[in-house]
Every structure is written in structure tokens, then in C-alpha cells.
Amino acid sequence: MFRITRILSTFNKTPISLCSNELDKKGAFIRKDSSFRNHVCETDPVFKPEAGRYHLYVSLACPWAHRTLIVRALKGLDHVIDVSIVDWLMGPNSWEFTGRDGATLDTVNNAKYLRELYFKVDKDYQGRFTVPVLWDKKTSTIVNNESSEIIRMFNTAFNQFAKHPELHFYPEDLRKEIDEINEFVYPNINNGVYRCGFAVSQEAYEEAFHNLFNALDKVEEKLSKSRYLVGNRFTEADIRLFTTLVRFDCVYVGHFKCNKQQIKEYPNISNYLREIYQMEGIKPTVNFFHIKHHYYGSHGTINPTRVVPVGPNISYLDIPHTRSSL
């Protein structure tokens, strides 16, 4: 495998690292695993659930970080876990805290760049500087930077402080089915769009492209019979799919060449997407300015001019859904 690491930025004429994208011999994108995998729970000897102890670092552009913001919002944890938001532009030093365009400064560590947090924990750190990051203020360390694990912590670990402890997005009786859905959606759709966009060979691109749209066809069929991915229960499986779907028409269709169909052309998926987008607490977590400007402005190999499209029209997201009939 090899890395795309040095790309000339038209903003500052300096080499930049774009997520340390990994490619196999066929030119297919391979995503590395996250590095920090501790958990907040009552039985953990170090990371106990406490209000105000933990801080969440996110990008509003990133679909993985977006998952954590959604669960935090739905569970009512905004007063329990505070947030810092990186800039939409991934520049020569990766994610930066600028305070512009809806981003914030780092209110906990006063870092200028996200990478400073990784080096603060491990001065010899060799991995990627990714979001989300769940930070422990008490021990001054990274607890976890894997979104799928952070959302499960937010789902149950902080219930004693949550405004909505009754909401459960990974219920025990549905876990087997949720896991099966996740195992299908992640490689084919969540990561599938990236495998299309970052492929550097025709073979790798077409393989990812067909896998992606075959998977979307299966989801379309499934949603013709059930309101959500797991029957009539809204679960983490829906949240994990939503963050890809909501970026699809405005970014992935053009920027990542996922152009067989737009989501708005799938009757069931688009109706499902509208329902989730319109749920109380979710719409405020979606920032299309950050989404579009990050992808089109940060990926120099894909969009060397950094020109950000004006369209498409995504006003269909506000059309009332009809999913309650299922």
C-alpha cells in the first residue's frame, strides 16, 4: 500500500495531507482503524460518567463526527458534553480551530490544530488526526476517536444526566439485526462513497460504484416495507446511514463521482431521509456550508481548482414526509 500525502494546495502553495488516504495495489481506498478505544462506563477504573468532564471535538463536514452530534442532541447531552468545532478547510496542518464560519476555537486545550491533541497524548503518535475525538478533561487525554463507539457511550453511559434517558438507539432485543445492517451499510455505503471518490484506478472506482448503488437499491427495497432499517424502531443504524445520505446529493454525486442516481430520485430513501432530517434536534446538526466547502475545498487531488458548486437544490428535504403511514 502507499499514501497520497503531498498535494499542492492552491490556497497556500504548501503540501497538505488529506486524511492519510490508503490505497491498495488496485488503487482502491482503504480506511485505517481508529487508534484510541477506551470507554466511558461505570465499571471503567478511569473513565467514569460525569457531567462536564468530557469534551467532544468534531467537524461539521465529517459524516463520522456527525453521528456523535446527532446522538448527543437526541439524548439531550448538550449540557453534559461540550463541543469544539474545527474549521471546514483541512489545510496543511490538517484540522484547525479558527472560529470562523460556524467553527469554534478549542475551548479546552487552546490548541490551534487538532493534531496538537494527539501529540499531547503521545509525542510519538504516527496515526491519523481524525474527528470525532472524545477528550477527558480530568486526565487530559483522548478517551476514544471511533465514532461508532462514541455514539454507544452517548446512548447509555450518561443516562443519569441526559434529558432523554428513555431513548435507546441500540436496544438489546434488536442488536443482532442492527449489527447486521451496520455491517452491510458501512462498507458499501458509508465507506462506499469514499471508495468511489478516492479510487485512483478505473477498476477500483467501478467496483466501488456498483457496490454502492446495488446497496442503495437494497435499502430502497427494504424501506418500501418498513419505516426504518430495523422495522418500526429508529436506531443507531438509521443515524449511521443518515449522515451519508444527507451529504449524497450535495457532495458525493459530483465530487465523488457517485452519479448514477441522486437520493432524491429514490422514492423511499428520499422520504426516509426527509423524516430523519425533520426530526426535532437533527436539522441543527446539519451544516451544508461546512459540508460543501470542506469536500470541494480540501480534496486537491479531486478538485484542484477548489471551486465550490452553487447547487444542487436540496429544498426537497423540507417537504413533509409520509413515512408514518408504514
Q: Using one digit for the tens of pLDDT, what is the confidence trace for 81-131?
A: 999 999 999 998 999 999 999 999 999 999 999 999 999 999 999 999 999
115 labeled binding residue: no
Helices and strands (H and E) in the chain: how many = 10, 9
Q: What's the DSSP call for residue 172?
A: G
Rounded Cα distance between 70 and 154, Å, is: 10
Average pLDDT, the chain: 92
Retrieve residue 202's grid coordinates: 478505473
Q: Do 189 and 110 share a structural domain?
A: no
Q: pLDDT > 70: what percent of the chain?
A: 90
- 312: preceding bond cis by omega (within 30 degrees): yes
C-alpha cell, 103: 467553527
pTM: 0.91
Residues 214 and 314 in one domain: yes
Question: Could you read off the pLDDT of 130-174 as tens digits, one per residue?
Answer: 999 999 999 999 999 999 999 999 999 999 999 999 999 999 999
The reply to whether 62 belongs to the active site is: yes
Q: Which residue has the cell 484542484?
A: 304
Q: Establish whether 194 is a catalytic residue.
A: yes
> Of 156, 180, 204, which residue is a domain's last?
156
User: What is the domain range of residue 140?
Assistant: 54-156
Q: Kindly state the cell numbers that stand for 47.
A: 473513565
Cα distances (angstroms) measured from residue 188 to each of 32, 90, 99, 215: 16, 25, 35, 6
Does 128 belong to an annotated binding site? yes
Whether 287 has a pLDDT exceeding 60, the answer reads: yes
182 and 149 in a common domain: no
Instruction: Determine if residue 46 is labeled as part of a ligand binding site.
Output: no
User: Nearest-CA neighbor of 150 among 167, 177, 170?
Assistant: 170
Are 231 and 110 members of one domain?
no
| 76 and 178 inside one domain | no
Mean pLDDT of 297-303: 95
Whether 321 has a pLDDT exceeding 70, the answer reads yes
Instruction: Please report the pLDDT score of residue 23 as a whole number.
Output: 63
Distance CA 248, CA 251 (A): 6
CA distance 316 to 42: 43
| Position 35 confidence tier, pLDDT thresholds 50, 70, 90 | confident
- Asked whether residue 10 is domain-assigned, the answer is no
The catalytic position among 62, 196, 250, 258 is 62
Catalytic residue among 194, 252, 272, 295: 194
Could you count the other beta carbons within 10 Å of the beta carbon of residue 181? Answer: 22
